[in-house]
Structure 1
């Protein structure tokens, strides 16, 4: 009996110390310096330009895009964000365009609608759908890791700004991940209760245009 109690106590200790580690790994790690410099770049060579990102000028200077467009400022495009647990994106929606269902595994998304109208929504882990119709000035939060979408049903274009609590929130496209990642077509047909021919038509529709 005492051996079982000891083993049970050890198991509880392992779980106790493992749980915080799992939480830490699911978000951006804390840093022990003011900021992180790319390898080979010394602090003496850093000035304000390192902390400035000019990639959003294309949103301001160019005309309206013909298709749904995202301009991102993550640590990939803007290395100064590394370790800062923030990133940004500008979403441009021509009339009747969509941002297809997707998830951000490492962050919630806080969307601010600047212009136009958007229908937005997400599905929780109990398969309940939450939707809203946004007007300029409205803010909507998509909880971390949940499938969500945006659709411009309005008469004109729409522009939104999204903020993330991660320097690299990640994006997992539901249509892309399901139909273009190489999952066996027979598995997909059974999963969606259809036939392989239908799955092939869907995959062909998602293929990049030549």
Structure 2
């Protein structure tokens, strides 16, 4: 009886190990689907698929928001494909800001490594959670909630942000309202802004309509 149990247990262990897939390095030549990229053939995988050097240098903050986000998502770092994780670098010049935005597909953890950042998010109950973060501080932003980051120092501030998805998605509220061809009358009606304000914001962000 004991031999039978041991034999069956061994089969189960062998079977479970056989079904484990250590990784699924994304094949960027294939289309991305809801579950991510198709897996690259294991024989073509190298150590470089698990190493990303693109976060060494600061991003270009010479733009309207004086900020830059350098992503290491599945599209840039195929090794994270299928693993439920990714990372990015956030650079904020003095007065820099990452406007109100959401990540529909992931929660976010932010770690400040230089300077100081004022960060916050708004819950679905419209409660505001706001904190001035210093070097070494960490803040969590739950999935799908509007949040932002602002440089709170007179020097360049840097943070690294990790996500609970290899493709967290991004929607910036200002761009969704004023950087496309959504008719101005609808924007005015749904935001309670006057026509002149909507026109001015569309002019700044490149929207039409």
TM-score range, shorter chain: 0.7 to 0.9
- TM, length-normalised to structure 2: 0.77
Q: In 2, distance between residues paired with 1:42 and 1:80?
A: 13
Q: How does 1:71-110 map to 2 (within 5 A)?
A: 71-110=70-109
Q: For 1:155, what is the secondary structure of its paired residue? A: coil
Q: In 2, distance between residues paired with 1:194 and 1:145?
A: 25
Q: In 1, distance between residues paired with 2:142 and 2:61?
A: 28
Q: CA RMSD in A?
A: 2.1
- TM, length-normalised to structure 1: 0.77
Q: In 1, distance between residues paired with 2:145 and 2:45?
A: 38
Q: Quick check: which one's helix share is greater? A: 1
Q: For 1:203, what is the secondary structure of its paired residue? A: helix
Consecutive unaligned residues of structure 2, counting only runs of 5 or more, are 1-18, 31-38
Note if contact 2:80-2:166 (Cα within 8 Å) is conserved in structure 1: yes
Consecutive unaligned residues of structure 1, counting only runs of 5 or more, are 1-30
**Deviation (angstroms), 1:86:** 0.4
Q: In 1, distance between residues paired with 2:146 and 2:201?
A: 20
Q: List 4+ stretches of structure 1 deviating above 6 A.
A: none
Q: In 2, distance between residues paired with 1:117 and 1:74?
A: 25
Q: In 2, distance between residues paired with 1:192 and 1:72?
A: 31
**Deviation (angstroms), 1:32:** 5.8
Q: For 1:57, what is the secondary structure of its paired residue? A: coil
Q: Which residue of 1 aligns with 2:203?
A: 204
Give the paired residue count.
175
